[in-house]
Structure 1
């Protein structure tokens, strides 16, 4: 959507520092509104993309409080006889400063031309902010998956019970292994039961929470996961007979007003088309994204291991979709970016507009603060990959 600057007195930017502040706020709001990841965004523990506001560049530690698992006490027993284990999980994240700028042509000192440049510059920088941030979200989702479902042309999904790693699973992918309903249902089942790709038990993934109102105005809570697919997987899914049958029973409109623009629903989980990352747009990572480009768009400090596209499969073109639950992704950043206007360039003949933003993005991968081993250690907290051939 276009950036709305109508109520900002752009012509007063030299004398009013609030002009640049208001532009930055509009860029932040509009860039998120245009992002396909916006539906997952929030500060609560039930959001797929959990936000932490940070103002400085110091490392920060987002925390997670798992549920209590003790039996408690009964009757006249003292609390001290059976204290529960109160554990706080956390991970360390390292913010980085991201910025970009554009320079005008030689100006003729006409106010109309200057304002036109401000309009065009802010629109372009808004798009850059969104695409840069979306690409960092995509690389974080894609990086070092610890659980995966691999699509299969014959059975819907491959039997990976004997595989030792996710990489071993994804390298089984061949042409014809397209995305389908069975594979997505398999990922949902694994999330709900806490099952890994090799059949080992881990922990159930906490679902997202969406709130809606029924026809009587009473509020109900709907619990589910989000399924994120690129455009190739979405097209493959539309050709699946089971998918076509499922959508005949799908309830849309106000019943799913949190998730806008989704393809449909599988087992109560909305399927959202994110698009494909290319030279001209942001989207989910596929084998077509070069390893070099991938490394330039990931916060390397937030990941112990970097797995570029060639890591999962270097012989078969493929894409990767994702099941995302609560706290699947963690994002830390400043509340709003900073916007700059400088008309002193080239001895005053040109103007530069720039923007920078503090940002840190990673998958939720929490560990116990006490240092004791736990089932969450070095494991994606709420993300399961869905690998498919790209065709």
Structure 2
């Protein structure tokens, strides 16, 4: 194996000013085959990147919470068929919002949101950001995407908003994992932070993972301004306890910790049984994935991918980069990404703190970006190239 082309690509990205700093890790059958750091931990202070750097993981928090939920399913304390309102009664008033021109017409639900829907993002909850629409505007106006709401305010506002699709109708990436985390809090009477520590981080030895940076001096920082848009960058504040534990975007951790988590799922040891690990990392969309591909990039995890219970799952050899059917992955808005190819015993992690604001603020320009998802595609391609 030789990862010289991957190494050269990332060094060039830093030298040309597209990345402030980065870390790349590739493991085969749990053994690290490549680990390298690039650029700066803090570009303003000139501090070099380090192997034990802490990164804001944003949506890479979602697989943590999904796996956590499945530990309760495995014990029989939670069922995938349980309705959301059983644990959070305010959501019994949910409606679906049909977009008619610029208007949003509310209709009753045909069935309630299930735990299963929360895990596979078919509940109908959306984000206000990522591709504009009349219904998404309601989410923006309610401020439910914001990080500074406490738990009670978040749940009260979200339960009064319409779903973008009826439960089970479509894959709609959104706030489902945040809701799932709060459901687990209601189930147990414990905070999401305490549950993750008790059931995930502690057993796996993930000492640096959580919702607060254990050592702020190791926290990776972004450029002050996005290199493509020139807009100021403000990342999640993870130096202090958050107003609520946001299961969909609030986590912070290291590459070493995240590797332990991914290996536990790949091998079915230490967290979930092999059967539950496979259940999590197999496709659960079926024909909904094909329907999403027909609608366009907003409605699918990517060409050739379905979605499992918290991760995207490759369905076939079709796609924009190499990979085998059954490979699973996810990314975070702050510049983080992983993929696992069980057929090859391959686990790869890329961490940086460099969001691309074109994908949020100017989605019509995102496909012309030098950055964004192209970085993940290049990383995947060059990892497979390095395997020989």
Structure 2-normalised TM-score?
0.25
- Highest Rg: 1 or 2? 1
Larger RCO: 1 or 2 (CA < 8 Å, sep 6+) = 1
Could you say which structure has the higher strand fraction? Answer: 1
Structure 1-normalised TM-score?
0.25
